[in-house]
Amino acid sequence: MTTDFKPISNGAAIALADVPHFSLDNFACRALHLVSNGGKVVQFFAYPHGDRLRFLAVLRTDTLLTATCDAPDTYPAMTATCENFHLFEREIAEQTGIIPRGHPWLKMVRYHANARGVADVFGNDYQEDIPGKYDYYAVSGDEIHEVAVGPVHAGVIEPGHFRFNCIGERVLNLEIQLGYQHRGVEPLLLQAAPNRRPFIAESIAGDTAVANSLCLAQAIEALSGMPVDAGAKIIRTIGLELERIANHVGDLGALSNDVAFLAPANYCGRMRGDFLNMSLLLCGNRFGKGLVRPGGVRFCLTDDIRNTLVQRIAELKPQVSHVIDLIFSTSSVRSRFEGCGRVSRSDAEKLGLVGPAGRACGLPYDARRCFPTEHYGNLDIPENAEATGDVYARAKVRADETMQSIRLIESLLRHPVETHCVDGENLPLTPDSLVVTINEAWRGELSHCILTDETGRILHYKVKDPSFHNWNGLSMALRNTGISDFPLNNKSFNLSYCGFDL
Amino acid sequence: MLNILKNRFEQGCRTSPYPKTPVQLPPRYRGRPEINPNAPVDLARRCAAACPQDAIDAENKTIDMGRCVFCGTCQRISDGQFVTFTQDFALSVSEKKHLITRGTLPDLARHARQHFKKLFGRSLQLRQVSAAGCNACEADLNVLATPFFDLARFGINFVASPRHADGIVVTGPVSRNMKTALFQTYEATPEPRVVIAVGSCALSGGPFRGSPEITEGLDKLLPVDLYIPGCPPHPMTNLHALLTFFK
């Protein structure tokens, strides 16, 4: 008899029949026990089982653990005990109409009607198309004022609404309401023909195109038994690291810009482009769209391209290193970065922050090291944990990772890489199975989860962007911070709106 | 101070000589598609069946650049016998019907509305509306401000308010939740105003085609003056479109 959550491997399919199925009480009790003792929630959602729904949770300690239970119409909220479940329970409520009783902050996530056609948990009328139509958390008092920003922002930025409750310049609370970009990605991935899936996955978040298509490809490979050769794994690793470097370098420039140090901002903007152009050289798209497909990669790494990449990196590496040194050795930059927007380690634990935002608070979790896929098992990924949890720490983690990733790519480009190119072959998927894939995208843990039905069709597709964990980290960072430091904090996280909105 | 100067020297001058000097994109870049009208129709049908974006009309032997995400699947399947993607990044058109093509695009400069050139040729201020895409189009519009492209040297800027703008640049498949915000931004832009649709999503719904949450083409909501295809369009495609259409 199974008595606990079942350990599973990242990117390995298991039969749904082998996933332990508990009563709701036992499920909640075990899940809360695991997460209260340092575990984290990777996935938690409801999926159809016959004409009923079931809950499925994927938790992580030093392994991945999973279990299911029957989903009731209403149940006592786990968030009341354990903050890690907060957004997951809201998401379930929005997607299925299941009410978590006693949830401390039950509000909509993406502003859409639920798929089951049952009564809306939030009492919204979705004929009205403004997600912001909602009573925001308010603070009252003599000198209290509110600042509302968005959905359309002052720059070339994705839409989202920010509501600041301030006393003078000081932010008491920042509430973030997203959902403007909701495109119905998960239902679309169920309906779309198999050859469309990689394109949809790559467009969940364009700056995370490689990581998303990697999660999809690994899941399909696991479910169809498709082999991937060693060369393809190396090329995919290079693609993912190029994506990381381009984004980190761009954001270091943006951080510099937000403290009015314009020279590095311009240098980083240009150098980011040079890294995007490396993806362009490799696969014809600056964001790596079209590189990864189930079964391998669509483009080989010829010796010509490999040598060009080696040359370009040899030229760029000292430039990046010098500009990073310039940013971090400038006292006016340090004085703005240090101590700004601090998130404590205990808050980061409770919110389950991932990626550089989590590492900046002292949580060393990095999926590349903890649950390695592709070529990462052969690579040495350092821990990169900082202690201070402020803008400085977030910038520092990203600067360190930039240089580490450049060295990783250098080492991978040292030897010729051979692979047999693929173009998204569609093999049948194993029926009645579950697969969870996790990759360390540049913002942190990205996870896709696929369940198949008895005919091998996809029964449920779940995507979790790292931003799903981290947006509340930004809210916490703003507490008691000057409102003028919002742009700086926002950039230090640089979270995805569309990855969250799906 | 010395460190700043050292970096300045190392970085050098990076601004592209375009449009005075042509720019060559790498061989794997997939730009303007060219169709071989003499290809056998069953080859065309195989390409059409494999196209994830349903962009190919096998009977008429055309490709819809509004739907196309430039993945190159059709070129690969036909081994270049039916479709080839050239390195030409000049993809933009001023009328939607011209997106459906065999490879020859009308001269954008001559199709531009002449009063736009007169009004905005020396100074064009644009407001960008990000409406539910994947942020790649936004990212490659943003790079126009970096030293390599340096859009401001042509008198074109992205501004913070629609009140300061001559037009809007829309990216994304306009989700249900962004419609109101898009209309309000459009209304807030003083007339005469330009509407530019950037990227496969804004042109046709892109990879999200078929989802009930999105709009399959900005032109269903607003009158569009300039269509820029791509997923996302290369910054050179954007730059070429803006310079050719308004200058």
- 8 Å CB contact of B214 and A158: no
Cross-chain residue pair A180–B11, CB shorter than 8 Å = no
CB-based contact, A264 to chain B, within 8 Å: yes
Q: Using a CB-CB distance cutoff of 8 angstroms, which residues of chain A are in contact with residue B168?
A: none
Q: Do B207 and A199 touch (CB under 8 A)?
A: yes
pLDDT at A498: 94
Cβ-Cβ pairs closer than 8 A, A with B, add up to: 200
Partner-chain contact B3 A326, CB within 8 Å: yes
Is residue B161 within 8 A of residue B174, CB to CB? The reply is: no
CATH 3.30.360.10, domain A6-101, yes or no: no
- Does residue B104 carry a pLDDT above 90? no
Q: What's the CA gap between B54 and A153, in Å, rounded?
A: 34
Distances (CA, A) of A440 to A19, A43, A210, A249, B218: 25, 15, 11, 17, 35
A126, A183, A323 ranked by CB distance to B175: nearest: A183
| CATH number of the B109-246 domain | 3.40.50.12280
For chain A, the structural domain boundaries read: 6-101, 185-456
Indicate the pLDDT class of residue B114, thresholds 50, 70 and 90: confident
pLDDT in tens, B218-236: 999 999 999 999 999 999 9
**CB–CB of B143 and A273 under 8 A?**
yes
Nearest to B181 among A180, A206, A283 (CB): A180
Q: Please tell me the predicted confidence (pLDDT) of residue A1.
A: 40
Residue of B nearest to A321 (CA): B7
- The pLDDT score that the predictor gives to residue A132 is 61
Rounded percentage of chain B residues whose pLDDT exceeds 70: 100
Q: Is A195 on the interface with B (CB under 8 A)?
A: yes
Amino acid A129: pLDDT: 66
Distance from CA of B116 to the nearest CA of A (A): 23
A126 contacts on B by Cβ (under 8 Å): 176
Q: Which of A158, A192, A263 sits opposite B7 (nearest CB)?
A: A263
Among B29, B69, B137, whose Cβ lies nearest the Cβ of A280? Answer: B29
Which among B7, B28, B158 has the least Cβ separation from residue A284? B28
Classify the C-alpha dihedral B123-B132-B177-A105 as positive or negative. negative
CA distance B78 to A45: 43
Higher-confidence residue of B11 and A217: namely A217
Fold of A185-456: Cytochrome-c3 Hydrogenase; chain B (1.10.645)
Put simply, whether A294 touches B (Cβ < 8 Å) is: no
Q: Say if A203 is an interface residue toward chain B (CB within 8 Å).
A: yes
Domain boundaries, chain B: 33-89+98-107, 109-246
CA distances, B92 to each of A86, B33, B66, B106 (Å)? 45, 12, 10, 9
To test the contact with chain B by mutation, choose from A112, A152, A276, A278 the residue with the greatest count of B C-beta atoms within 10 A, namely: A152
ipTM of predicted complex: 0.93
The half-sphere exposure of A149 on its side-chain side, counting CA atoms within 13 A, is: 19
Cβ–Cβ of B214/A183 closer than 8 Å? Answer: yes
Using an 8 Å CB-CB cutoff, list chain A residues near B68: none
A148 contacts chain B (CB < 8 A)? no
Which residues, at least 6 apart from B24, have a Cβ–Cβ distance to it below 8 Å?
B87
SS3 A423: coil
Query: Has residue B91 got a pLDDT over 80?
Result: yes
Asked if A203's CB is within 8 angstroms of B208's CB, the reply is yes
A293 membership: H or E segment, kind and range = strand A292-293
Between residues A285 and B111, which one has the greater pLDDT?
A285
A192 touches chain B (CB under 8 A): yes
Please name the member of B11, B130, B143 whose beta carbon is closest to the beta carbon of A319. B11
A446: three-class secondary structure by DSSP: strand
d(CA A356, CA A348): 12
Task: Measure in Å the smallest separation between the Cα of B150 and chain A Cα atoms.
Answer: 10
> Over its length of 502 residues, how does chain A's per-residue pLDDT go in tens digits?
446 999 999 999 999 999 999 999 999 999 999 999 889 999 999 999 988 999 999 999 999 999 999 999 999 999 999 999 999 999 999 999 999 999 998 988 998 888 888 888 888 888 776 666 778 888 888 889 999 888 888 888 899 999 999 999 999 999 999 999 999 999 999 999 999 999 999 999 999 999 999 999 999 999 999 999 999 999 999 999 999 999 999 999 999 999 999 999 999 999 999 999 999 999 999 999 999 999 999 999 999 999 999 999 999 999 999 999 999 999 999 999 999 999 999 999 999 999 999 999 999 999 999 999 999 999 999 888 888 999 999 999 999 999 999 999 999 999 998 889 898 778 899 999 999 999 999 999 999 999 999 999 999 999 999 999 999 999 999 999 999 999 999 999 999 999 999 9
Task: Give the distance from residue B122's alpha carbon to the nearest chain A alpha carbon, in angstroms.
Answer: 22
**A500 contact B CB<8A:** no
Residues contacting residue A378 through CB under 8 Å, at least 6 positions apart? none
Is the bond leading into B192 cis (omega within 30 degrees of zero)? yes
Residues of B in contact with A207 (CB under 8 A): 134-136, 139
CA closest to A495 among chain B residues? B135
Tell me the backbone φ, ψ of residue B196, rounded to 5 degrees: -115, 125
Q: Which residue matches tokens 């000589």?
A: B17
Measured torsion, CA atoms of residues A398, A400, A402, A406, in degrees rounded to the nearest 10: -170
Cβ separation of A286 and B30 shorter than 8 Å? no
Tell me which of A110, A124, A156 to substitute to probe the interface with B (most B C-beta atoms closer than 10 Å). A156
Q: What phi-psi label fits residue B80: left (phi over 0), alpha (psi between -120 and 50 degrees) or beta?
A: left
